[in-house]
Amino acid sequence: MNFISILYGFFLLSVLGIYWSLAQESWRLWILLAASIVFYASLPNQVQYIPLLLALVFINFRLGKAIGENTSPGEHSQDSKISNEDWQYAQADWNRRRLKLLWLGVTLNVLLLLGFKYLQPFFQFIFHQSVSQDGGFKIIAPLGISFFTFECIAYLVDIYRGAPATKNFIKFAAYKLFFAKLISGPITRFHSLATQFSLVRYPTPDLAAEGLWLIARGAVKKGILADRLGIFVDLCFGNLQRAGSADLWLATFAYGLQLYLDFSGYVDIARGSALLFGLILPENFDFPYFSTSIADFWRRWHMTLGDWLRNYLYFPLGGSRNGLDRTCINLMIIMLIAGIWHGAALGFVVWGALHGLALVVHRLTDAISDRFEDLEHFWQNPLGIAIAWLFTQFMVFTSWIWFRLPNIEDSTWVFQHLWGHPADAQFSNKVYVEVLNMNQSQIAILLGALGTCMAIIYAFNRGLKLQFNWPVKLLFVPLCFYAVWLLAPEGSLPYIYFDF
């Protein structure tokens, strides 16, 4: 079931009608859980994984309860029947038990992720061929398995750190399998959504309009802009030997925009759908392509993943508390893990390493700037800000090459041929004349116009603090849907982050 489809519209309206006709929280949770299972079963090659996901939900639920259960005698006082020494021993034993259970849960979730995402690529790397070609097996990973396991790990760690464990399995299952966020996030913490389950109210007209507007806006981002860009990107990166340097540059920038519009469009639809149920999911993007440093980029791009990496990896490793050298090492470790999380191919490792290196350079530059007042002032004036923005975005966009082409031979070939490589004449005629009916200059102008529109929206939103009010948003909703129906290419491309 595609988010941008009439079927999803009927599905969403049907679930909303049943959901809001029920008064009790427990029944609403049951409806959300049942709808989420139906939604997941409708996805290609995924119905067989429903028992596995339910089993994992139950296991993590039980582990959370066990970690949160206080088996020590209670707080010690002068009137206690046990000695201070016995109480401290019992408390230490309880903490050791909780830590063991935490490691059990984290290990289980990590092994699950490794098994589905990296076992087959490992065999392919060892035997230099697809496993299924020898009559063996071919693993199709459950969609959303990365987001699923990250949320489970976050829940167990939060319980270990002192957050209360839920005793309501249906609430936990509804949170874990909520169809709006199940496949590609945003990564959501349990306690935030659980509180909303208990306090859910009918959405006010402005919230309902905001939900519909987010769905319509996300459909335009994905159905028209991202998929149209994707056609050009696939033509260029699918014919590397025939594309010229200019084609590769255009495809690189087009892919950066496609990835952002595709993923942020998905999240807009997910957040809009949740709002209609009276639930608020966290934002995942905050105009990342207007960042003036790589650190700022990661505070704005895939924000829930960045938040997860900081809270559950970077800070436990020591963060920036143990000196500049250790901080730089921690940054490299985190970004390498972020690269590996996206996939097993070496291209993702290179992508993570490039971002880690960029973060290290940024941290070192900050440390040097702090020592020289003139240098610090330079980065704060308009020229310095413009230069910082250009360096940041150049690094971000060129690193997308390894993200789009995780096969290290392909991505390295592209990077080596970004300058001075002529295009095949037949390729140019096929792409620009027969398929797109546009030349290179027109493609470049369109990419520039799209970037300009994003800059104008950014200026109105962040600079002038101006937004449409809810009646205007409601007015644009049918216009957006009509535009998608009219302008979206036939056979929409799959969401890019479904692969991760």
Ranges 151-160, 181-190, 199-208: which has the least confidence: 199-208
Count of residues making up the chain:
500
Q: What is the mean pLDDT of residues 11-26?
A: 93
**Cβ atoms 22, 28 nearer than 8 A:** yes
Other beta carbons less than 10 A from residue 296's beta carbon: 17
Q: How confident is the prediction for the chain on average, in pLDDT?
A: 88
Give pLDDT, residue 316: 92
For residue 449, pLDDT beyond 90: yes
Higher pLDDT among residues 302 and 142, named by residue: 302
Give pLDDT, residue 121: 59
Under the banding of pLDDT at 50, 70 and 90, the label for residue 386 is: very high
Give pLDDT, residue 135: 47
pLDDT > 90: percent of the chain: 65
pLDDT > 70: percent of the chain: 93
Q: What is the mean pLDDT of residues 329-338?
A: 95
Q: What is the mean pLDDT of residues 398-425?
A: 91
Q: What is the mean pLDDT of residues 245-258?
A: 95
CA-CA distance, 33 to 29, in Å (whole number)? Answer: 6
Q: What is the mean pLDDT of residues 312-327?
A: 91
Q: What is the mean pLDDT of residues 213-238?
A: 94
Give pLDDT, residue 239: 87
Residue 186 vs residues 282, 302, 336: alpha-carbon distances, Å? 7, 8, 21
Nearest of 414, 296, 303, 426 to residue 355 by alpha carbon: 296
The string of pLDDT tens digits covering residues 122-154 is 545 544 444 444 445 456 778 888 899 999 999
Burial level of 35, CB count in 10 A (0-12/13-18/19+)? buried
Give pLDDT, residue 120: 61
Active-site residue list:
342
Give pLDDT, residue 122: 54
Ranges 10-24, 82-96, 410-424: which has the least confidence: 82-96
Nearest of 448, 463, 146 to residue 287 by alpha carbon: 463
The string of pLDDT tens digits covering residues 473-489 is 899 999 999 999 999 88
CA-CA distance, 269 to 9, in Å (whole number)? Answer: 11
CA-CA distance, 428 to 424, in Å (whole number)? Answer: 6
Give pLDDT, residue 133: 43
Nearest of 276, 277, 274, 314 to residue 298 by alpha carbon: 314
